[in-house]
Structure 1
Amino acid sequence: MPADAASLAQAHVRIARPSRDLAAAERFWCAGLGLSVLWRIEGGDQPGEHSLLMLGWPEATWHLELVHDVAEPVAPRPTEEDLLVIYLDGPVPDDLVARLTSHGGARVAHSNPYWNTWGTTILDPDGYRLVLCTRAWPMT
């Protein structure tokens, strides 16, 4: 593996998305899934002044960044293939699914039967899909 590819393989990943309601998103991702607030910026009501919420597990190599601009909001436009997949390497806990749905999520069937076989799909408050997968990563 070339040196640049090796360093990229260790790089931290940010997944950025617009959000309609950062408070609702925070309830889902933090109280529901168990992520922590890593950073928060409260924006104003002028164009370009956006509110920002960064969520993740402090020790993870990725985080989720949610952005909302009050003056010029960007509507989330998720498709069925915009997935955040978490590989659990075991059964999806019923209490986790219940916690996610009680904090603003909605359990849905996925149009791809693979995800229905190997996981549970939950819509977040902005309509993006979180898949809790029973498989391990890397897959063997």
Structure 2
Amino acid sequence: MMSTSPAADAAAVPTLQAHLRIARPTRSISALLPFYTTGLGFQTIGSFRQHAGFNGVMLGHPSLPYHLEFTEQEGHDPGQAPTQENLLVFYLPKKEEWDAAVRRMKSTGVEPVKSYNPYWDVDGKGKTHEDADGYRVVLWNGGWSPS
């Protein structure tokens, strides 16, 4: 019989405690870096060059339980994001922090775009930004809850 206790579930399912890496290919790591470092405030926490023909960079923060990895391979074009609904969403409940995040994105020269899903534009609480590969990031002024 399966447990209904969240604490017991977390102990029984290792992925619930794992550090998460979100990885995707890009045409140009250097074209993405200002968006994710200056704009979103990520730090370079690791990188590699010419590993089996790939270059890569890991972006995150030492205290976060996740990080982003971008890889490029010379001569390979992975193309653009498959849809405008390929999103990373950052929930920023404090208005001052959200305002600062939006200003940082603007400082990189990246203006918000109209969201494909109108939910993210509701009441001006969301700002959607598109990176050099067409992937989108939503900065949401509010918290998240499962309900």
| TM class by smaller structure | 0.7 to 0.9
1:24 correspondence with 2:28: no
TM-score under structure 2 length normalisation: 0.80
Q: Which residue of 2 aligns with 1:33?
A: 40
Ranges in structure 1 where 5+ consecutive residues have no aligned partner: none
Q: Classify the secondary structure of the residue corresponding to 2:112.
A: strand
Q: Equivalents in 1 of 2:70, 2:80: separation in Å?
A: 10
Query: What is the letter of the counterpart of residue 103 of structure 1?
Result: T
Q: Classify the secondary structure of the residue corresponding to 2:50.
A: coil
Give the 5 Å matches for 1:1-140.
1-2=8-9, 3-5=11-13, 7-43=14-50, 48-91=52-95, 92-93=98-99, 95-103=100-108, 105-117=110-122, 118-138=125-145
Q: Once the two structures are superposed, what CA deviation does each residue of 1:24-74 show, in whole Å capped at 9, x if it has no partner? A: 211111111110001111227xxx411101101211111111010013332
CA contact (8 A) 1:56 1:64 kept: yes
Structure 1 residues 84 and 14: alpha-carbon distance in aligned structure 2, compared to 1, 3 A threshold: same
Larger-gyration structure (1/2): 2
Q: Offset of 1:11 from its aligned partner?
A: 0.9
Q: Which residue of 1 aligns with 2:3?
A: none
Q: Equivalents in 1 of 2:61, 2:118: separation in Å?
A: 29
Query: What is the letter of the counterpart of residue 110 of structure 2?
Result: G
Give percent identity, aligned residues only: 36
Structure 1 residues 83 and 33: alpha-carbon distance in aligned structure 2, compared to 1, 3 A threshold: same
Q: Offset of 1:98 from its aligned partner?
A: 3.6
Ranges in structure 2 where 5+ consecutive residues have no aligned partner: 1-7
Paired residues, what number?
135
